[in-house]
């Protein structure tokens, strides 16, 4: 009888310990799942904040470009018309000398008007909205090439797949930041920009032959942070590699 009771007690003890072990495992699994869910929610929330901030920034850029083109550009055009009408009020011999001076002012205003239009286009490129990413990047590379600053090799492989305008704009901004960094800091003579559409994957490859830099992910400048934020919004991978005196490479990968 005592032996049976001892066996029953041992069985109860084993069952109890097993139950406690299962309960402990269940609690641990629950905590891990809960923590993972919190982290995922935080990432989604952070990404939402970034998307909202960038969307507001792009909307402000668009509004500013429109105001710049319409208000400032329109004002300069009106002044030019007024100057043309003013010339007719002068009589000889003052007219000839005055016309020379007015001609100089007209030239300065025309140059200023061209600059305003260029800045306005630079802020919100019409080619991107009207013709797509490839056309806009091709136009951007052509402008740099024509400026004589350095050679730009641009190519697109595969059939272009149009994305949402916000995504194409984010990719365009990343490209422009890369180009701007090369022009301002790298002292390069050549840039290579390649776009590949392949089996539902978009790949942007960028390379320059400049002086390079020590890439430290812990101390990014504002331009680098902007590129990283935009890549997060795209849910894309942006990989940047650079070695001093050996140029810089960047690769942006995005699932379409």
Instruction: Report the phi/psi class of residue 188: left, alpha or beta, with left for phi > 0 and alpha for psi in -120 to 50.
Output: beta
Q: How far is the first Cα of the chain from the last one, in angstroms, to the nearest whole number? A: 74
List, for residues 22-59, the tens digit of each pLDDT value: 666 777 776 677 667 766 666 665 666 555 655 666 66
Q: Among 99, 121, 143, where does a domain finish?
A: 121
Whether residues 190 and 153 fall in one domain: yes
Whether residues 162 and 98 fall in one domain: no
The total of other beta-carbon atoms located within 10 Å of residue 86's CB is 11
Q: In what order do the strands lie in the sheet with 201-208?
A: 151-157, 190-198, 201-208, 248-255, 237-242
Average pLDDT over residues 106-133: 73
Residue 147 backbone phi and psi in degrees, to 5: -70, -15
Give 15: exposed, middle or buried? Use CB within 10 Å, 0-12, 13-18, 19+: exposed
Beta-bridge mates of residue 207:
192, 249
The answer to whether 178 and 137 are in contact (CB under 8 A) is no
Whether residues 200 and 240 fall in one domain: yes
Pinpoint the alpha helices (H) of 68-163.
73-87, 94-123, 126-131, 133-147
Percent of the chain at pLDDT above 90? Answer: 21
Instruction: Write down the pLDDT at residue 256.
Output: 86
The reply to whether 181 falls in a domain is: yes
Domain around 116: 2-121
Domain count for the chain, please give it: 2
Instruction: Write down the pLDDT at residue 156.
Output: 95
Q: Which residue is it, tokens 């470009």?
A: 65
List, for residues 165-203, the tens digit of each pLDDT value: 888 888 998 998 898 889 888 889 999 999 999 989 999
161-191: b (≥16 Cβ within 10 Å) or e: eebeeebbbbbbbbbbbbbebbbeebebeeb
Instruction: Write down the pLDDT at residue 213.
Output: 78
Q: Which residue has the higher pLDDT, 121 or 184?
A: 184
List, for residues 63-79, the tens digit of each pLDDT value: 665 556 565 666 666 67
Residue 124: pLDDT band with limits 50, 70, 90: low
The answer to whether 94 and 102 are in contact (CB under 8 A) is no
Does residue 148 register a pLDDT over 90?
no
The reply to whether 127 falls in a domain is: no
Beta-bridge mates of residue 250:
206, 240
- Mean of the per-residue pLDDT values for the chain? 76
Q: Among 90, 121, 152, where does a domain finish?
A: 121
The answer to whether 134 and 163 are in contact (CB under 8 A) is no
Instruction: Write down the pLDDT at residue 93.
Output: 56
Lowest mean pLDDT segment, chosen from 62-76, 144-158, 205-219: 62-76
């Amino acid at each position: 009888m005592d032996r049976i009771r001892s066996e029953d007690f041992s069985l109860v003890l084993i069952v109890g310990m097993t139950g406690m072990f299962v309960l402990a495992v269940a609690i641990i699994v629950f905590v891990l799942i809960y923590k993972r869910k919190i982290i995922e929610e935080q990432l989604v929330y952070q990404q939402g904040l970034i998307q909202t901030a960038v969307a507001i920034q792009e909307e402000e850029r668009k509004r500013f470009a429109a105001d710049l083109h319409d208000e400032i550009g329109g004002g300069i055009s009106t002044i030019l018309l007024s100057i043309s009408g003013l010339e007719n009020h002068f009589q000889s011999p003052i007219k000839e000398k005055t016309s020379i001076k007015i001609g100089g002012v007209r030239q300065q205003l025309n140059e200023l008007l061209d600059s305003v239009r260029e800045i306005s286009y630079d802020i919100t490129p019409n080619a991107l909205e009207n013709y797509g990413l490839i056309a806009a990047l091709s136009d951007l590379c052509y402008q740099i090439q024509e400026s004589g600053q350095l050679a730009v090799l641009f190519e697109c492989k595969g059939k272009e797949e149009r994305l949402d305008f916000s995504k194409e704009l984010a990719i365009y901004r990343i490209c422009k930041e890369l180009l701007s960094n090369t022009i301002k800091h790298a002292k390069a003579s050549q840039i290579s920009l390649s776009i590949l559409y392949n089996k539902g994957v978009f790949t942007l490859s960028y390379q320059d032959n400049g002086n390079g830099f020590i890439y430290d992910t812990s101390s990014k400048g504002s331009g680098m942070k902007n590129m990283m934020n935009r890549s997060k919004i795209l849910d894309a991978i942006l990989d940047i590699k650079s070695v001093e005196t050996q140029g810089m490479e960047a690769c942006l990968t995005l699932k379409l």
